[in-house]
Structure 1
Amino acid sequence: MLAYTTLGVSDFERAKSFYEALLAVIGAQYVLGNERIALFGHDVTNPMLAVCIPYDEGEPSAGNGTMVAIRAGGPAECDAMYEKAIELGATCDGPPGERSPGFFYGGYVRDPDGNKLCFCQIGPQ
C-alpha cells in the first residue's frame, strides 16, 4: 500500500548519514535521491523511508501525533535499532519493551530533527 514516507529535516547531510547508518541494522540502504531528498529501503518496489529538505525550504517540523514505525525482526533487532539511534544522536522517547504482552514490542526515539520513530515487532512473539 505505501510507497514511501517522508520526514522533513533541517540538515540534509546529517539526516542522510543518520538514517543510512540506522537502517543498515535491518539491511536497508540508500536507494535513490538527489540534492534534497534521500530514500532508504531494500529496493524501489518495497516501502521506503525518505528524508528531505522541505520543498518550500522552510523550517521542518515534527508532527504532533505523527510517528514512523519501522518493523524489526524481533525484540533483539528492536533493541539494536534503538541503541544505534541513540548512538547516532537520537533521544529516548520510550525505551524498548513489551507494550502489549505477547503481541507488540517496541522502542521509541526522536531523531535529531525531533521526528518520532518506533522500532517494533507486531504480532505473536
Structure 2
Amino acid sequence: MIAYVTVGADDIARAKQFYCAFLPALDYELEESREGLSFALPVKPGQAAAQPEFYVKPPFDGKLASAGNGAMIAFEAHSQKQVRELHTAALAAGGVDEGQPGFRASYGPRFYVGYLRDPQGNKIALFSSNPDEPGRA
C-alpha cells in the first residue's frame, strides 16, 4: 500500500490554488504548514488513516522543483460528470490540459479520464470507473 505521494512545487500559493480547485471535491482536507501543503482524506473515530496522503512541498534539497518524466498521480472521482467538472476547475486554477475527459481505447470500457498538468508541470489524472454509468460504446 502506498502511504503518501509528494510532488515538488516552487510556488506553493499557485499550487494551493490549483489543488484546492478539485481535491476538496474528492473529500481531501487541506492542512497547511511551513513545509507546504498536506491533503488527506478525513478519518472517522476508530478508523485507521486513509491512504495515500498527498503532499505538495518545496524540494528538501533547496533546488528548483521539477516534474518527473513519466510520473503521474491519479485521483478517483465519483462520476464522469465530476471528472469533467474538476478538470475544468483545475484548468481555470492554473492547470494545463494534457487530454480532455473521455474514454480511451487502450483502457477498459468504463475508464473515463481527463489529464492535466499542475503549475509546476506534474501530470495529474482525474478518472472514474463508476460501474453505474455507461461505458465506452
Structure 2 length-normalised TM: 0.82
Q: Distance in 1 between matches of 2:114 and 2:59?
A: 27
- Give the partner amino acid of 2:128: Q
Match of 1:79, SS? Answer: helix
More helix by share: 1
Answer yes or no: is the 8 Å Cα contact 2:14–2:94 preserved in 1: no
Unmatched 5+ stretches in structure 2: 44-48
Counterparts in 2 of 1:30-109, with a 5 A limit? 30=30, 32-43=31-42, 45-46=49-50, 47-99=52-104, 100=107, 102-109=109-116
How many residue pairs get aligned? The number is 124
Please report how far the alpha carbon of residue 41 of structure 1 lies from its aligned counterpart in structure 2 after TM superposition: 2.3
CA-atom RMSD in angstroms: 1.7
More strand by share: 1
Q: Distance in 1 between matches of 2:91 and 2:20?
A: 14
- Give the partner amino acid of 1:88: A
Q: Distance in 2 between matches of 1:42 and 1:123?
A: 20
Question: Which residue pairs with 1:9 in the alignment?
Answer: 9
Question: Which residue pairs with 1:120 in the alignment?
Answer: 127
Moved over 2 A (4+): 100-103, 122-125
- Give the partner amino acid of 1:75: Q
Q: Distance in 1 between matches of 2:74 and 2:110?
A: 15
Which stretch of the first structure deviates more once superposed, 64-73 or 95-104? Answer: 95-104
Q: Distance in 2 between matches of 1:80 and 1:27?
A: 15
Match of 2:22, SS? Answer: helix
Larger of the two Rg values belongs to structure? 2
Q: Deviations over 1:31-88 (max 9, x none)?
A: x342122111223611221100000110111011000000011211111110111110
Share of identical aligned residues, percent?
Answer: 35
